[in-house]
């Protein structure tokens, strides 16, 4: 008798609305000056029960595994704290109160809910190997893997629809660079191992993972909205995007890129209901196999 164990995509708990893993380089950060753009870590309400989907999270969380080098390398805790401070410095003046979440920050003067989450995050988000395991877990559960000739991925005909009956929540994998422009909407789980470029009215319900080269560039924004969470992490060299194997991993987390120009009303609102529903909608994959004498 042959016995198989199967599971859907195995995701560690998402630690914040926007998670930036790795030492933060101020030159790779950009937050919009739009008065309508927000990142909100307050969890959504479950439409079926009227109760919160789960606990609130920080608007932005920073975490890393390494110091900055030199004769006296800083500790991971200090590097993540430096990253937190760099994120806050990148937020335009007059927009600090647009980043809210689990921490009730002092209102006078306004303080954004940007936190060093090193001591609370699942270890998978703070190491190259852990994030690589997340990538492989999502790839194994993919319901659509995009064609990416020469490392540039062709956008799918549908990126998902949370309003459909039943909801269409694909696990979409792009092993390369992906550009989504115009009035684009989607749902489920989206993994991009290269550069993700967003423009126009982009909306998404679920989880976006930009893990690999760890580059997310957005412009415009329009009236779209993202309801779920985003994780950005640089774990691979220039070959990892199209060939996400252990041979192309960095030895330590690199600096992620999050550059959002414009903004419009396109904000990010944490929603664990959408994330959990997307994970349960994934395909089953075999995680072990054994022969049993019968």
Q: What is the pTM of this model?
A: 0.91
Distance between CA atoms of residues 201 and 185, nearest Å = 8
Decide if pLDDT at 86 tops 90: yes
Distance between CA atoms of residues 113 and 84, nearest Å = 10
Which among 278, 268, 279 is positioned nearest to 44, based on CA atoms? 268
Decide if pLDDT at 224 tops 60: yes
Burial profile 223-240: b = 16 or more Cβ within 10 angstroms, e = fewer: ebbbbbbbbbbbbbeeeb
Distance between CA atoms of residues 67 and 77, nearest Å = 9
More confident residue, 222 or 291: 291
Return the H-helix or E-strand segment holding 18: strand 18-21
Domain range summary for the chain, segments of one domain joined by +: 2-291
pLDDT of res. 106: 61
pLDDT category of residue 154 using cuts at 50, 70 and 90: very high
pLDDT of res. 264: 65
pLDDT of res. 180: 94
Distance between CA atoms of residues 229 and 243, nearest Å = 25
Residue range 218-243: mean pLDDT, rounded: 90
Decide if pLDDT at 70 tops 50: no
């Amino acid at each position: 008798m042959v016995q198989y164990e199967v599971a859907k995509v195995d995701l560690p708990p998402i630690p914040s609305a926007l998670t930036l893993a790795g030492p933060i380089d101020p030159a790779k950060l950009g937050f919009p000056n739009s008065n309508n753009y927000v990142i909100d870590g307050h969890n959504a309400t479950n439409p079926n029960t009227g109760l919160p989907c789960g606990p609130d999270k920080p608007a932005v969380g920073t975490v890393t595994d390494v110091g900055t080098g030199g004769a006296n390398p800083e500790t991971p805790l200090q590097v993540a704290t430096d990253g937190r401070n760099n994120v806050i410095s990148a937020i335009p003046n007059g927009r600090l109160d647009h980043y809210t979440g689990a921490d009730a920050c002092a209102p006078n003067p306004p303080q954004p809910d940007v936190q060093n989450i090193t001591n609370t995050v699942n270890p998978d988000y703070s190491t190259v190997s852990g994030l690589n395991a997340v990538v492989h877990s999502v790839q194994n559960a993919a319901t659509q893997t995009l064609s990416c000739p020469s490392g540039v991925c062709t956008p799918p005909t549908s990126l998902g629809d949370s309003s459909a009956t039943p909801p269409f929540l694909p696990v979409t994998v792009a092993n390369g660079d992906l550009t989504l422009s115009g009035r684009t909407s989607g749902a489920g789980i989206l993994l991009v191992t290269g550069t993700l470029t967003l423009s126009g009215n982009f909306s998404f319900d679920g989880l976006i993972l930009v893990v690999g080269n760890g580059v997310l560039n957005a412009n415009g924004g329009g009236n779209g909205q993202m309801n779920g969470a985003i994780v950005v992490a640089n774990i691979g060299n220039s070959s990892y995007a199209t060939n996400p194997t252990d041979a192309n991993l960095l030895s330590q987390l690199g600096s992620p890129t999050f550059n959002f120009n414009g903004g419009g009303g396109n904000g990010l609102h944490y929603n664990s209901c959408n994330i959990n529903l997307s994970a349960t909608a994934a395909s089953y994959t075999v995680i072990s196999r054994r022969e049993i004498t019968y």
